[in-house]
Amino acid sequence: MTEGSSQPSATSDSPLDELKQGIRNIPDFPKPGIQFKDITPLLADGRLFRMALEQMIGSHQPDDIDLVVGIDARGFIFGAAAAAMLNAGFVPIRKQGKLPFETIEQSYDLEYGSNTIAMHRDAVLPGQRVLLLDDLLATGGTAAAALELLQQLQAQVVEAVFLVELEFLSGRKLLGDVPVRSIIAY
Ligand code: AMP
């Protein structure tokens, strides 16, 4: 090994800048007026995907958390990978009608209409330490409904973590006392 032989890194950007570069904005998807944050470029880059997971896991250590709960559908991608890294189990919260066993369900309002999410009623035991993960916090309706389900099962929600937060929508106000953390804010 020769001292001073290391190459300058390809980029001097901070990790957060690098992660941001893996998220592309798609105007007017899926409908006019929505700025859709497309995370597929980040997922397709192994280094960025791992960086995103490490940031989302934060200071949690393996075996600190019993279960990572991920929200349909992009929450599954981060949730399942984070669960494996934390030596924790993974629980999906799905759209209504997808889970095969007995479910508990929670509806919430969307801009137009409403949506219902569901979880298996035996998915979490009272007092289990849960980390709730999703790709993005917008109005907070989805995450608030997920927290309702977890509360019904008497989970101990340690933290709710999002890769992206649309701060101007103030979604975290709907999440009550649960500690909320996001990695990238717009
Ligand atoms: P909300 O219930 O408004 O907080 O919306 C959060 C859910 O909708 C998350 O599961 C996101 O994946 C998705 N979502 C909402 N807004 C966007 C957006 N602008 N770009 C990408 N995904 C979004």
Residue 52 pLDDT exceeds 80? yes
What pLDDT is recorded for position 110? 87
- Work out which ligand 1 atom sits closest to the CA atom of 145: 2
- In CATH, what is the architecture of 60-185? 3-Layer(aba) Sandwich (3.40)
Query: Residue 3 contacts by C-beta under 8 Å, 6 or more apart in sequence?
Result: none
Note if 181 is an active site residue.
no
Question: For the segment 71-107, what is each residue's pLDDT rounded down to a tens digit?
Answer: 999 999 999 999 999 999 999 999 999 999 999 999 9
Task: Return d(Cα 148, Cα 136) in angstroms, integer.
Answer: 18
Cβ atoms of residues 130 and 124 within 8 Å = yes
What pLDDT is recorded for position 175? 98
- Mean pLDDT for the stretch of residues 109-116: 88
- Mean pLDDT for the stretch of residues 155-182: 98
Residue 68 pLDDT exceeds 50? yes
CA distances from 180 to 81, 143, 145, 156 (A): 20, 10, 15, 14
- Does residue 116 line the site of ligand 1, with CB under 6 A? no
Catalytic annotation, pick one of 3, 74, 129, 181: 74
